[in-house]
Structure formats: C-alpha cells, structure tokens
Copies of this chain bind each other. A is one copy, B any other.
Amino acid sequence: MAQPPLPPPTSTIPPFVGLIVRILTFICLLISLIIIATNTEKSIDEDGNEDKTKFNDFYAYRYLISIVIIGMAYTLLQSAFSIFFVATGNRFGGEGFCLFDFYGDKFISYFLVTGAAASFGMTQEFKRLAGSDNKFLNTSNAAASLCLIGFFFAAVSSIFSSYNLPKRA
C-alpha cells in the first residue's frame, strides 16, 4: 500500500518563537537608546568654561539614535501582531500580511545594521585621535554594539518571515 506523504522538510516557525525574538530585539534597542541618549562627557576648555559632549555633536550617533527609534517603533508594532497571533492562533491580516512582514523585516534589519556600522566606523577612527581609553567613545561603542545585537535578532525575524512567504508554484 502507498505510504502517506512525508511532511515537508522546512516546517513553519511556531508563533511564540517569533514573539520571543521580537521582544529580544526590542530590549536590545531600548538599552542602546538609553545608553546613547544619556552618554555625556564634561570637559573644561581653555577659557575655563564647562563644555559638554553629547550624542548630537556627531552625525553618526544622531543617525544611530534615529535608526534605533525607528527600529523600536517597528518592533513594537510587530510584537503586537505576534501577541495577537499567539493568543488567537490566527495571523493578523491573513496570508497577504506576510509580504508586509517580509519587506518590513528586511528593511528594518538593513537599517539597524547601517546604524551600528556607521557608529563603529566613526568611533574607531576617533579613538585613534582621542586615545583608546576615551570614556565617551567607549560608551558610544557599547550603544552601537547593542544596536548590532538588536540587528542580529531582527535578521532572525527576517529569516522567519522569508520562510512564511506565501506559497508559490
């Protein structure tokens, strides 16, 4: 007698795994935002005036903070959809919504990695000028690293949403 067909090798990912990855992305981006926004360095200039160095003195860190905020907003939205999926067992918006997931995850993961890369690129060069033990630059590097870890989780979400693309011929 004929055997029943075997299940396909690549099964779909359980909804709660997707939700956990989203939450981890959000936590990393949140910590990154707090670190970069609170990172200040006081210095005294030649005339004895106090001078503050903040993230908005550098293009790359301003870019990083914008990217992190955009990433957080998107991840929060997607987490809400994931909670809906876990709670009801139905995907929000149905099958067609998978395309929004796919392109959204792809764009956001590319954006997050550019934020981290731009900050690292700048910080490495400035460390050579300012000395490698500069506290402000080291703290900024920590924020960029957290953005990079957030990107890794976003890339995992992007791989999941690629597997969830509508079926083809």
A162 CB within 8 Å of chain B: yes
- Considering the chains assembled together, what is the distance between the CA atoms of A113 and B119 in angstroms? 13
Contact for A169 among B7, B58, B116, CB less than 8 A: B7
A60 in contact with B125 (CB, 8 Å): yes
How near does chain B come to A131, taking the closest CB pair, in angstroms?
15
Can you name 19 A-B pairs with beta carbons within 8 Å? A10-B168, A11-B168, A11-B169, A59-B124, A59-B125, A59-B128, A60-B121, A60-B124, A60-B125, A63-B121, A109-B110, A113-B113, A113-B114, A114-B114, A117-B121, A118-B120, A118-B121, A162-B165, A167-B167
**What is A's interface to B at a CB cutoff of 8 Å?**
7-12, 58-60, 63, 102, 106, 109-110, 113-122, 124-126, 128, 155, 158-159, 162-163, 165-169
- Considering the chains assembled together, what is the distance between the CA atoms of A166 and B11 in angstroms? 11
- Considering the chains assembled together, what is the distance between the CA atoms of A63 and B125 in angstroms? 12
- Considering the chains assembled together, what is the distance between the CA atoms of A12 and B63 in angstroms? 37
- Considering the chains assembled together, what is the distance between the CA atoms of A106 and B8 in angstroms? 23
Contact for A9 among B58, B109, B110, B166, CB less than 8 A: B166
A58 in contact with B162 (CB, 8 Å): no
Cβ-closest chain B residue relative to A115? B117
A106 in contact with B155 (CB, 8 Å): yes
- Considering the chains assembled together, what is the distance between the CA atoms of A128 and B11 in angstroms? 52
A168 in contact with B12 (CB, 8 Å): yes
Of the listed residues A114, A128, A163, A167, the one surrounded by the most CB atoms of chain B closer than 10 A to its CB is: A114
- Considering the chains assembled together, what is the distance between the CA atoms of A32 and B121 in angstroms? 18
Contact for A163 among B10, B116, B126, B168, CB less than 8 A: B168
